[in-house]
Structure 1
Amino acid sequence: MSEPLRTGAERTWDGERELDRAVNEIEGFLLWEAEKDRARTRAEAFCAALPWLTDTQRQDVAVRYCQDQHEISRAYLERIAARSASLRTEYEGVYRVLRRRLVTACVSATTVLVALVTVAAAGLTR
């Protein structure tokens, strides 16, 4: 039996990732269905501009138009996904470098401050 979904502070990291994945899948499904609807609408508009087509020809053109649009959309989305993944990797690297620099600056500033306080304390005790 599966573990019940926890909320708030009880929710585990894996549970959150699983939920995020499920939401992404649902969102992707809905976006793809919307894209299919747009392709169908564009196909119908395209066929409406060709009044000499018979009903059978109109259906064939609409189906082919939708297939072409699906292929174009899929290729476009795959390029976007690949680019998003490369940007994420790049930005994560930049973030790590910036975080390392910030930690180094804070440690350095703290060291300098401690040294100054030590020197000032030593000067006051003389």
Structure 2
Amino acid sequence: MGGRQRPPKARNVRPVADTGAEIARLEGYLAWEAEVAAAARDARAFADRFPWLPADDREALESAYADDRLRYAEEIVDRAVGRCRELAARYRAECRRVCARWAAVCLSVAFAAALLAALPAALRA
């Protein structure tokens, strides 16, 4: 087969709505990787305070420090996610309540307008 070939059809094209979620997921990944790098850097700096430690003990100290810091960071993230979910549920409930109240007000106004429009005809009869 000679000549130009057509480019392959795009597969698995995601809707635009997923783009924001993917960007947020990527940002979360990058933030966590930055935290891992910072934990390793700080662990090395902490271990540098003990120059007399043998290499094996130094590595164990660095590892323990980094693990503790990442465990703490993970707990903070978990608490933040839990709080965000809690607030989102509360705001959804509040939004439903406000929407229901506005719907009731609009229906009441429409009913009153229809009643006032029909009242003169009923009085004439």
Using structure 2 for the length normalisation, give the TM-score.
0.70
Question: Aligned-pair distance for 1:43?
Answer: 1.8
- 1:85 is aligned to 85
Structure number with the bigger relative contact order (C-alpha 8 A, sep ≥ 6) is 2
Larger proportion of helix: 1
CA RMSD of aligned residues (A): 2.9
- 2:11 is aligned to 2
Answer with 1 or 2: which has the greater Rg: 2
Using structure 1 for the length normalisation, give the TM-score.
0.70
Q: What percent identity do the matched residue pairs reach? A: 21
Letter in 1 for 2:44: E
Aligned residue pairs: how many?
115
Segments of structure 2 that go 5 or more residues without pairing to the other structure are 1-9
- 2:3 is aligned to none
- 1:105 is aligned to 105
Provide the C-alpha distance between the structure 2 equivalents of 1:102 and 1:43, rounded to a whole number of angstroms.
Answer: 56
1:113-124 equivalence runs, <5 A:
113-119=113-119, 122=121
Segments of structure 1 that go 5 or more residues without pairing to the other structure are 6-14
Letter in 2 for 1:63: S
1:1-126 equivalence runs, <5 A:
2-5=11-14, 15-48=15-48, 50-54=49-53, 56=55, 57-119=57-119, 122=121
Question: Aligned-pair distance for 1:114?
Answer: 3.3
Cα–Cα, structure 1 residues 60 and 20, in superposed 2: closer, same or farther, change >3 Å? same
Cα–Cα, structure 1 residues 105 and 52, in superposed 2: closer, same or farther, change >3 Å? same
Q: Residue 11 of structure 2: SS of its match in structure 1? A: coil
